[in-house]
Structure formats: structure tokens, C-alpha cells
Amino acid sequence: MATTGKSAAVSHVGKIRANNQDSGYAGQFLFVVADGMGGHAGGDVASAIAVRRITETDRQYTSPNDAEFALRAALLAANSLLAETVFEHGELTGMGTTVSGMLRVDDHVAIAHIGDSRIYLHRNGILKQVTADHTFVQRLVDSGRITAEEAAVHPRRSVLMRVLGDVDASPEIDTTVMKTLPGDRWLICSDGLSSYVAEDKIQAVLTSISDSQEAAERLVKESLDQGAPDNVTVVLVDIDDTGDSSHVPPLTVGSAAVPLVFEADSARRPLRLPSLLLHPLKATQTDDSHFEPESDEYLDALIQEDRRRARKRRVSWLAFILISIAAIAAACVLGYQFTQRHYFVGAVDGRVAIFQGVQQDIGPIKLSHVYKTTTLDLDDLSPYYQQQVETTLNANSLAEAQGIVDRLSDARQR
């Protein structure tokens, strides 16, 4: 498939969230997605600050290794900037952001990555994730503590092990250099896409839609079709043989594209020492979307706690289901016994009969049966009584039903 050799950036707040905490950028050589997190107005600020700082690296580099170095340095600089911002705005403590960025240098790309946003390479119709998620569950899978299946439904599957923020002064950033070929499509996205749209669906979209903008918009739409509980950001970079994949002019999307709103009333807020300086590894967390576990014992304790909770949930559900089944069964038995205290007179094979039960049925379940067929022929009755019997006559007891039969017998046409 011939690509247009262009790039696209699309960001959407999604269907549930009140604000967009993602930021994206498609420029001349640089392409980035950042997914911010943090309680009070923190996440959008974090991703915006990071993306704005990193866009300073959007220029031509002489070698892929230079670009890789510059990109890593920019992520570290963004990390410091976030810590400084928290220092001046204590209410933003605990904010952080993922960053997945790519700098193109001719037929190579330099990649820098931290968090759970992803970079995929789509080549010859095959989609491959090139970054590793820095999530709690991925670490558990890597260390053999849980299986990939357990990870997919793990209660802490969205918890991040590494982000840029005010937690760690020198966060561990993955970087690499890869070769790229004409026809390659590089997809950078937030977990608002990758957590809700299956990879084979993403692959199908990238294989079938050649226009960069159209493909990026379709991917965002796929997430919206899944309910889009999270912000979703897609940056798509198409490589053609002219060596040009730039977006002119550069395009910023998401929270980095709008003015930061936290600055206005900062003067009224008390200054605080950055948590980073006070406790290099144990900053105050305002939410549990990311953390740095102190030890393997702590990790193990968390795993045990999750398993205990899962077991407890299973046991309570089982008890609930058993009690429900017992209650329904008891209601059925009582209800059936109630119906069987009633009788009515009706017709069977042209004869008057006494039925035990009630006339109504519950679906295929009959609530009455023939108690006794009499020798009284329907034909011997007047048309009026025939119709009465056919539409049935109620009786509150067997004796009353027998009384009705006796009276019908007396009224027989001679």
C-alpha cells in the first residue's frame, strides 16, 4: 500500500471524562503522545508541560544517536519541569505523565518512552508493539508472578510503575534507534486506544485506510464506538521514499493545545517544598494511578491481597447465587401448592371434567391437571351451559366443583 508520506494527530476527550489529560504532537521530525494523570487538574497540566518541553527537540539531527540523546534529555528536562511546577503549585502534587516520542532522522527513528502509551510499527500489513508498557501487571508478568491472562483482568492493570512527574528525580527512560522503510506506518497512541480497541482491529484499519488523517480519525472513532471511557490520542506517521513524513505546520492536540489554567490563582496558594526533595522515593501521592513499590516483599503482599480479594469475591458470588436459587425454588413450590388447592370445571374430549389447579399456565408449565372426567356429555347440555363449561367454571374446593357438576347434570336436556 502506498502511503501519503504524511502524518496526523487526533485527540478526543472520550465519552466519560470531563477533561482531556492527553497531549499529542505531530511536527517536522518529532512525534509525541503524553497521557497525564493526577487528581485536581494535574493530568492535563502534566502532559501539556511535558509535550511543550519535548517539542523543543523538533529539528534535523545529524545522526539517529544524536536524536536519541536529545530526546532522552528532553524527557528528563520535562521531568524536572514537572517537579518545579509542583514546587510552585502544591495542589498539583502527584501529577505525572507518560511520554512516547519519536524523532525521525532519514531512514531511522529514535524512540524514547516511559509509561503505558504505546508505539506500534505497522509494516507489510502486520502491527507490532515496539515499546514495553511500564505497568505494574507487565512487571508481574515479566517476573513470572502472574500469567498474561491474569494480567488482562488484574484490578491494578492500569497502575503505572514509571512516569514523568514529581516522584523520581531521574526516572528510567527506555530509548532505542530503529530503521524505518518506505511504507512503514508508526502509530503512537494513549491507552485510551490500546486498552479498548483490539490490536487486530487497529491492524485492519491501518491496512485498509491509506490516508494518514483518515486512518487516525478512524482509530479514534473505533475507541468511541467501544464507549471511550478514557481520553484517546492517536499520532500516525507515514514514511514514504521521499523521506518526508512531516506535518506542516506542526500540530499540537489535546491539553497541550490549550492554555494552562492552573496559573491564575497560584499567588494565593502556600508554597511547599517539593516532595521530591523531602522524600526522593516516597513522594506524597494524591491518587493511586502510579507508584513506586519499595520492595519485592511489598509487591508480593499486593499480589496476595489481590488474590485474597478475588477469592472473597468468588465466594460471595457463589453464596449469593445459591441463596437465590433456593429462594426461587421455595417460591415455586409454595406457588404450585397454592394453585393446587383450587378446582374448576371444564371440558375434556366432549365430556365435563373436574380440574385441579388454576386455568393459567406459566409458559410451558401447566398449573392444572384433570382430576376426574365425568360421564356427562357436553352435547347433552344446552348451548349456554356448553359455552360455560368450555370457558371453565371456577370452584373454591373439590366439593364446590362436584356441586357444579351435579347442577349441570340436573339441567341436562332430556
> Which residues of the shown chain bind Ca ion in the complex (CB under 5 A)?
35, 190-192, 230
**What three-state secondary structure class fits 169?**
coil
Element at 194 (helix H, strand E): helix 191-194
Tell me the closest approach of the beta carbon of residue 110 to Ca ion, in angstroms.
Answer: 24
Cβ distance to Ca ion smaller for residue 171 or 192? 192
**Cα separation of 26 and 102, whole Å?**
10
Tell me the closest approach of the beta carbon of residue 190 to Ca ion, in angstroms.
Answer: 5
**Cα separation of 411 and 382, whole Å?**
8
Tell me the closest approach of the beta carbon of residue 273 to Ca ion, in angstroms.
Answer: 30
Provide the residue type at 379 as one letter.
D
Tell me the closest approach of the beta carbon of residue 63 to Ca ion, in angstroms.
Answer: 33
Q: From residue 56, give the alpha-carbon distance in Å to each of 59, 66, 74, 176.
A: 8, 14, 8, 20
User: Do residues 372 and 354 make contact, with C-beta atoms less than 8 angstroms apart?
Assistant: yes
User: Do residues 220 and 10 make contact, with C-beta atoms less than 8 angstroms apart?
Assistant: yes
Nearest to 290 by CA among 135, 69, 411: 135
Tell me the closest approach of the beta carbon of residue 231 to Ca ion, in angstroms.
Answer: 6
- The three grid cell numbers given for residue 185, joined into one nine-digit string: 506506518
Tell me the closest approach of the beta carbon of residue 159 to Ca ion, in angstroms.
Answer: 12
Cβ distance to Ca ion smaller for residue 216 or 376? 216
Cβ distance to Ca ion smaller for residue 49 or 239? 49
Cβ distance to Ca ion smaller for residue 192 or 254? 192
The CA dihedral of 347, 349, 353, 357, to the nearest 10 degrees, is -70
Provide the residue type at 5 as one letter.
G
Cβ distance to Ca ion smaller for residue 68 or 191? 191
Cβ distance to Ca ion smaller for residue 58 or 191? 191
